Amino acid sequence: MENRENILSWYILSGVDEICGDEPMNVLTDQNKQAVPVNTVNNQNSERPATTLLAQENTAACNSAREICDKAQTLEDLKAMVESFEGCSLKFSANSTVFGHGNPQAEVMIIGEAPGADEDRIGEPFVGRSGHLLDKMLQAVAIRREDCFITNILPWRPPGNRTPTEGEVAVCLPFLQRQIELIKPRILLLLGGSAANAVLGNADSISNMRGHFIDYITASGMNIPALASFHPAFLLRSPAQKSKAWADMMRLQRKLAE
């Protein structure tokens, strides 16, 4: 009995906190996703940088996501397209595809990083501990969650809540960009560094980005002010930073009132 508890706590320490199915599955070997340098295979003296099959597959997946997205004229179309998309391996370890949720005519669109365990189980964004704190942050400035549209840069949970890779973000970004085009919100609220970097296309730190509005220009030329702030999961770990997040929410409220 004690041994079983030890094994379970070892799993949890290793980030294995979710059972995805009855049969064990290796998402990497099952899909033969081995990184093999292809440009240098037959040309040892090549001066071109090595391109891996994985990188090529990733570029192909990004292009395919972009092409698919351009065809989506409604959120329902886009949701169905994301659900049937197989170009991101995260889909195969997740239980649900967590598409954006909320008011399709929202003035405020809230963007987080990726679904966690609760979101993966329930199939909706921000319904776990971070979501409860987000609800309180919105309530504090008299914004109703049901008036917002809430989504993530990734629609699938990374195993063990690990940080998404650049490749995963790049493949899923067209789906997020199309959601923004279809919702046409007045303001974007970007929660955490990953969401802000992905949407704004930079590598700046969240501490630098938060607290002021940055223009986000959509593919069709709409200019939407984006406010970056701390992610609720970070605030749960670092409550001393809540006062800065509070100031950001007040900025959001003032901008909405303009």
Task: Decide whether 174 or 192 has the Cβ nearer to ligand URA.
Answer: 192
How many residues contact ligand URA, by CB under 6 A? 12
CB of 68 to ligand URA, least distance (A): 22
Residue nearest to ligand URA (CB): 112
**Shorter beta-carbon distance to ligand URA: residue 61 or 198:** 198
Least distance (Å) from ligand URA to the CB of residue 66? 23
Q: What's the closest the beta carbon of residue 85 comes to ligand URA, in angstroms?
A: 18
Is residue 161 a contact partner of residue 116, using CB atoms and an 8 Å limit?
A: yes
Contact between 226 and 213 (Cβ < 8 Å): yes
Nearer to ligand URA by Cβ, of 128 and 174: the residue is: 128
User: Tokens 């990734």 identify what position?
Assistant: 154
Contacts of 221 (CB under 8 A, 6+ apart): none
**Minimum CB distance to ligand URA, residue 117 (Å):** 9
Task: Identify which of residues 185 and 192 has a Cβ nearer to ligand URA in the complex.
Answer: 192
CB of 228 to ligand URA, least distance (A): 13
Of 128 and 193, the one with the shorter C-beta distance to ligand URA is 128
d(CA 248, CA 250): 5
* 215 φ/ψ sector (left φ>0, alpha ψ -120 to 50, else beta): beta
103-162 binders of ligand URA (CB under 6 A)? 112-116, 119, 125-126, 128, 130, 152
**Chain CA centroid to CA 128, Å:** 15
For 173, the token pair is 């970004």
Beta-strand (E) ranges in the chain? 101-102, 108-112, 149-152, 187-191, 213-217, 223-229
- CB atoms < 10 A from the CB of 240, how many? 7
Identify the bridge partners of residue 101 per DSSP, sorted by sequence position: 150
Query: Looking at this protein, which amino acid is placed at residue 78?
Result: L
Shortest gap between Cβ of 229 and ligand URA (angstroms)?
A: 12
Q: 119 or 248: whose CB is closer to ligand URA? A: 119
Q: List residues near ligand URA by CB under 6 A.
A: 112-116, 119, 125-126, 128, 130, 152, 233
